[in-house]
């Protein structure tokens, strides 16, 4: 699977597809099935021979960084904790 970051505009849920250790696919047959504006990152540079994600978690934040097979940074997203939800 190609490294991908998706988030629908009216949602707080974010989806990351992590790990393309060998081949990437330039084909995008499902592109029109993804809600418009929700694809924040998609990478398919097949000459770079895949990539992975480095995920760092701490009390303050979560960092997801996509890197290629040459350890070059491709994309980074920092997520902060949600505010406390009070359950009735």
Q: What is the pTM of this model?
A: 0.77
Q: How far is CA 70 from the centre of its chain?
A: 18
pLDDT at residue 87 is higher than 80 = no
Question: Both tokens of residue 84?
Answer: 């406390």
11-60 residue pLDDT tens: 999 999 887 666 676 777 777 888 888 989 888 777 777 788 999 999 99
Place of tokens 């809600």: 35
Residues forming beta bridges with residue 3, ordered by sequence position = none
Place of tokens 């989806």: 15
Compute CA distances 11 → 28, 34, 82, whole Å.
24, 14, 13
């Amino acid at each position: 699977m190609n490294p991908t970051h998706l988030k629908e505009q009216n949602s707080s849920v974010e989806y990351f597809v992590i790990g393309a250790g060998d081949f990437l696919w330039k084909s995008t047959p499902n592109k029109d099935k993804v809600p418009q504006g929700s694809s924040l990152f998609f990478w398919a540079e097949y000459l770079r021979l895949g990539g992975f994600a480095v995920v760092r978690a701490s009390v303050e934040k979560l960092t997801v960084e996509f890197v290629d097979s040459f350890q070059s940074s491709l994309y980074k997203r920092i997520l902060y904790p949600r505010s406390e939800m009070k359950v009735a």
